[in-house]
Amino acid sequence: MKMSKMFVQTLREFPSDAEVVSHKMLARAGFIKKLTSGVYNYMPLMWRVLKKIENIVREEMDKAGAQELLMPFVQPKELWEESGRWDAYGKELMRLKDRHDRVMCLGPTHEEIITALARDVLKSYKQMPVNLYQIQSKFRDEVRPRYGLLRGREFIMKDAYSFDTSQEGLNKEYENMARAYKRIFDRCGLATKMVQSDSGAIGGSVSHEFMVITDTDAGENDVFYCDDCDYSANSNHAVSKLLPAKTDGAEYFSKTEILDTPNTHSIEELCEFLKIPASIILKTLVYIVDKKPVLALIRADKAVEETKLMNAVGGVDIRIASSAEIAELMEQKGFDAVPGFIGPNGMDGVTIVADETVKDMKNFVVGVNQTDKHMVGANLDKDIPPIETFADLRLVEAGELCPQCGKPLKVTKGIEVGNIFQLGTKYSKPMKAVYLDENGKAQPYIMGCYGIGISRTAAAAVEAHYDEHGIKWPIAIAPYHVVIVPVNIKDEVQMKVAGEMYESLKNAGVEVVLDDRDERAGVKFKDADLIGFPFRVTVGKTITEGFVEYKIRETDEMLKLTPEEAGKDLVSRIVK
Ligand code: ATP
Ligand code: MG
């Protein structure tokens, strides 16, 4: 490829709407161009990277025994009604109507379509196990599209679905996919951590995510992990053993009574006022789950993890209640307390869930829905209504102890590039997707699903490989391997050597760009670093002594070699 002909435009500055490194770099280096919010053109450089990732994914999925197909991007409402997700999926599902008023949606994922397809084809146990996958654009009307390709609305995904006749079969395929994923990300030059995770809207029981660990804002997930054993989990699923804490308030309160606690709107203010630790306060938080209020009770020195709470009440959408919503709830129940003084008493009919930490609490402090007052010395069942649901609602904190080995847990940020789920019969049962077993009896398929964000993986690779000058693509997914830069295109010798190297490297199977633009060398070097070619060969004045300058982008190492030596080295590193 000649640089003068390449359909690329590098920018002088980072675009103003770009917050994270990968978005900044990919936009500035001319890999992506935004069309509208969360929707990007993949320019030729980007498309080469994406195709390389796709091919690695394809090779490893095929090797693992999966079969590729391609399902439609536009999907009919009826199948989503069969699975129950038409209502459950929420606003991320982009819904539309055709000219006959038939309601459709843009595919955000394909469980419904593949399950319907399987039930037409997989009639007998003899046809299983099967694993089917596709690589395709998805559309999700994300609440907050941001970070460029990391969280787009239209993005490329590999999604695979397995069909088995037993849980053992599913376990085996799940392990098989976990191994394939490890190979895929290794080959892409990406270090990943496989972490336990919540199964979310897709459902099912067991699931893991593959995280690229990063210390930047681009990591939207908190990952808790243990250095002493292999435990690691997304914060939405992580558990821990607590450090010892005072959970009995007996030494502070000799009887149960309602005290004046003026202006104690926050836990800190209440602790300060009563001179007590937060661990003897029972905190009441108001959430809105699927449009209905839910009270979450937890020891006040701990925080609620929203996904855990949502799962505990079987919801699909959760947020903290606004002060207006809290005021409305208070009015309905005949109270006028402001936030900071809310409690579970008198809340009949409202769903109340308590965290496991509440079980150990005695003689505690709790809000009683009266502004500027709290009950102290309170006890479960006696002073607050009996709690029907206890669940783990707690957000783990670094320093709490590993559930497996008891050592302190650490926390880091992660970008989820892929995940694997055991779906079981979550889709096959409601969609009546069955096969006949050995005894001629109809049984629902035992399913698994396995996703990889192809475009997100490309962006994550940039988050993991860059410096202040630009991208440092891992060789396996770089758009081109080498750029050859003649310093002065008017110099015949330089152009001749550059041209010869260009041809011979191309013939040897190296992907090479010749920067034949009539630009200052400095400009060309800047672009080469920004675009992130793994190798740069500069043909300048030293060619009169028989040498070119050879630069390795990853390490910034510079070598003086003859064109032949440089060519040999490149071929040996690149051509496998
Ligand atoms: P997230 O929690 O990040 O929203 P998800 O759990 O919704 O991800 P899946 O539905 O399982 O993700 O999709 C499979 C893969 O697709 C994810 O692991 C991720 O790599 C990618 N992906 C999901 N949403 C997006 C998006 N908005 N933009 C780019 N890639 C995405
Ligand atoms: Mg999502």
Q: Is the model more confident about 513 or about 217?
A: 513
Q: Residue count of the chain, please give it.
A: 576
Instruction: Give the pLDDT mean for 388-401.
Output: 96
The percent of residues above 70 in pLDDT, for the chain, comes to: 99
Given a cut of 60, is residue 201 above it in pLDDT?
Answer: no
Measured by CA distance, the residue closest to atom 1 of ligand 1 is 416
Given a cut of 90, is residue 476 above it in pLDDT?
Answer: yes
Residue 445 is encoded by which pair of tokens?
A: 């398929």
Instruction: Give the pLDDT mean for 112-121.
Output: 98
Given a cut of 80, is residue 313 above it in pLDDT?
Answer: yes
Measured by CA distance, the residue closest to atom 19 of ligand 1 is 453
Give pLDDT tens digits for 14-44.
Answer: 999 999 999 999 999 999 999 999 999 999 9
From CA 426, how far away is CA 429, in angstroms rounded?
A: 6
Region of residue 121 (left: phi > 0; alpha: psi -120 to 50; beta: else): alpha
pLDDT-derived band at 200 (thresholds 50, 70, 90) equals low
Q: To which residue do tokens 């995904």 refer?
A: 157
Given a cut of 60, is residue 208 above it in pLDDT?
Answer: yes
The percent of residues above 90 in pLDDT, for the chain, comes to: 96
Separation of 51 CA from ligand 2 center, angstroms? Answer: 23
Separation of 83 CA from ligand 1 center, angstroms? Answer: 20
Given a cut of 80, is residue 416 above it in pLDDT?
Answer: yes
Instruction: Give the pLDDT mean for 533-559.
Output: 97
pLDDT-derived band at 316 (thresholds 50, 70, 90) equals confident
CB of 426 closer than 6 A to ligand 1? no
Pair type for strands 232-234 and 442-444: unpaired
pLDDT-derived band at 231 (thresholds 50, 70, 90) equals very high
Task: Tell me the sheet residues that pair with 412.
Answer: 223
Separation of 221 CA from ligand 2 center, angstroms? Answer: 12
Give residue 576's pLDDT.
82
Give residue 236's pLDDT.
94
Q: What is the DSSP letter of 379?
A: -
Give pLDDT tens digits for 48-89.
Answer: 999 999 999 999 999 999 999 999 999 999 999 999 999 989
Give residue 288's pLDDT.
97
Instruction: Give the pLDDT mean for 547-567.
Output: 96
Give residue 204's pLDDT.
53
pTM: 0.93
Give pLDDT tens digits for 165-177.
Answer: 999 999 999 999 9
Atom of ligand 1 nearest to the CA of 157: 16
From CA 252, how far away is CA 269, in angstroms rounded?
A: 17
CB of 211 closer than 6 A to ligand 1? no
Question: Sign of the CA dihedral 470, 474, 476, 477?
Answer: negative
Atom of ligand 1 nearest to the CA of 200: 6
Residue from 133, 140, 157, 192 whose mutation best tests the ligand 1 pocket (most atoms within 8 A of CB) = 157
From CA 380, how far away is CA 344, in angstroms rounded?
A: 11
Q: To which residue do tokens 């053992």 refer?
A: 168
> Which are the contacts of 521, defined by CB distance < 8 A and separation ≥ 6?
485, 487, 488, 538, 540
Give the orientation angle of helix 563-574 with respect to helix 492-507, to 10 degrees. 30
> Which are the contacts of 453, defined by CB distance < 8 A and separation ≥ 6?
155, 156, 157, 416, 417, 418
CB of 207 closer than 6 A to ligand 1? no
Separation of 80 CA from ligand 2 center, angstroms? Answer: 17
Given a cut of 80, is residue 205 above it in pLDDT?
Answer: no
Give residue 55's pLDDT.
98
Q: What is the largest CA-CA distance in the chain?
A: 96
Give CA torsion, residues 225, 231, 235, 240, to 10 deg: -100
Give pLDDT tens digits for 247-269.
Answer: 999 999 999 999 999 999 999 99
From CA 359, how far away is CA 384, in angstroms rounded?
A: 13
Give pLDDT tens digits for 484-502.
Answer: 999 999 999 999 999 999 9
Q: H or E element: which one contains 171?
A: helix 167-187
Give residue 58's pLDDT.
98
The count of other CB atoms within 10 Å of the CB of residue 576 is: 7
pLDDT-derived band at 125 (thresholds 50, 70, 90) equals very high
Report which of 202, 148, 156, 163 is spatially closest to residue 55, judged by C-alpha positions: 156
Give residue 525's pLDDT.
97
Measured by CA distance, the residue closest to atom 31 of ligand 1 is 453
3-state DSSP assignment of residue 176: helix
From CA 497, how far away is CA 501, in angstroms rounded?
A: 6
Q: Whole-number mean pLDDT of the chain?
A: 96
